[in-house]
Structure 1
């Protein structure tokens, strides 16, 4: 579904992503994992052309992102959003419909109905008229997930969707991801909590500036692969079936 070839990105003299090449398969829930500063979010933003790459190419079904942007949904990190912008939850979700509208067209009743249905799917219908600044962190995250759903994409990128949310929201998010998978959608998630990786994800992309490995979670979630990815930042104990994270800094 996605072909990434020799993508690199630098900030100043520092390489953040270096010569990454991989294929991402359709219909899986895939996680980017690696230490802080490993380039996970940077790689996603390069794929979505939110930031320019120094080199390399990305194709989605053999086309550029601009040619396929209508089938791609994006949930950014919460801290990158201006939550003081004066708008309510329903309006934010309705923004996800803009890709289905032509230039200068305003959302109609059908778009509002779809937006409301998406709020219902994430348990936020009661907050449709609530200003986004008045929502909790978990509620804000659910609203942005609903906006991505309203887009009715085939491919979803989610940057740290589980950070700063309560247990109920985390459960709602993973239920939603599995529902998308059942519909044949593809989901890519930047994730930091290694203790939930095996439960949540089918496929892993291990990244630390360079690509360490990519493949099924059952094959890559091992002490050896994680030590290669995290180096001395990871302390682990072995259980009978898998490594258990004790400390990562």
Structure 2
């Protein structure tokens, strides 16, 4: 069964359409990039799927059932800029928040939950910072903590909004290692991604979005000069060896 099926999603802000009649499904166990120019509605698409912004129309199914009934199967990593990093909490507590879908908001996490959260921190190389206030972490470290929180959700399908933005090379490598591990476990991961150079290297499947879904399919067949020109128009700075490298 398809891990995600989206039908006819339309989102409008102040009566101005941001996404129009977007529909697609994705295969299981793939790393999937969501690619398009700035303002194309990529982040809005993820938020509309997750019910974080209202949809004018459209439906979402996770493994054949409405999203509301399948939330425990879904993990989410928001953009770093949307998080209140001054909130007084430490790295381990942030990761433990990922367990609330399993234990509920009333019950306290068990020792088993805490041990699992510590294991997730270790996977992203942040064990030494478990007790550190999140405001005292670097941008890359903060991103790793939120990736660990998503891991703690123990989800089946993940949505990540620009996880590579503003991180150092070590964190980018850690993210890729984590994505590959999730894929090896049969998980499905959708990532809003801006770096066109790394799309063919990192992702199996690609969605090209510019207010509408223009193409969707295996990266090797979708990520072409023709399709990128259709998606970006005149915003591609240059093309090299058949691949778009830079977006203006």
Do they superpose with TM above 0.5? Answer: yes
Q: CA deviation at 1:214?
A: 0.1
User: Pick from 184, 190, 193: which aligns with 2:192?
Assistant: 190
Number of matched pairs? 246
1:120 positional shift:
0.3
Alignment partners' CA distance in 2, 1:16 and 1:244: 24
Deviation track 1:177-227 (CA, whole Å, cap 9, x = no partner) reads 000000000000000000110110000000000110000000011110000
| Counterpart for residue 19 of structure 1 | 21
- TM-score, normalization by structure 2: 0.97
The one of 148, 161, 177 equivalent to 1:175 is 177
CA distance in 1, matches of 2:14, 2:98: 34
1:39 corresponds to: 41
Instruction: Map Cα deviations across residues 149-189 of structure 1 (whole Å, 9 max, x no partner).
Output: 01110000000000000000000000100000000000000
2:114 to 112, 131, 136: 112
Tell me how large the CA RMSD over aligned residues is: 0.9
Which of 14, 17, 30 is 2:32 aligned to?
Answer: 30
1:145, 1:154 → 2: CA distance?
14
**What is the CA–CA distance in structure 2 between the aligned matches of 1:103 and 1:8, rounded to whole Å?**
32
Shift of 1:237: 2.6
SS at match of 2:101: helix
**Whole-Å Cα distance in 2 between the matches of residues 103 and 133 of structure 1?**
24
Specify the alignment match of 1:153 in structure 2.
155
The alpha carbon displacement at 1:104 in A equals 1.6
CA distance in 2 between partners of 1:66 and 1:77 (Å): 22
Q: Which runs of 4+ in 1 moved over 4 A?
A: none
1:163 partner SS: coil
Counterpart mapping for 1:44-63 below 5 A:
44-63=46-65
Report the alpha carbon displacement of residue 102 of structure 1 after superposing the two structures with TM: 3.7
- TM-score, normalised to structure 1, is 0.97
For 1:236 and 1:29, how far apart are their aligned partners in 2? 26
Query: Corresponding residue for 2:84?
Result: 82
Q: Structure 1 pair 244/208, CA: closer, same or farther in 2 (3 Å)?
A: closer
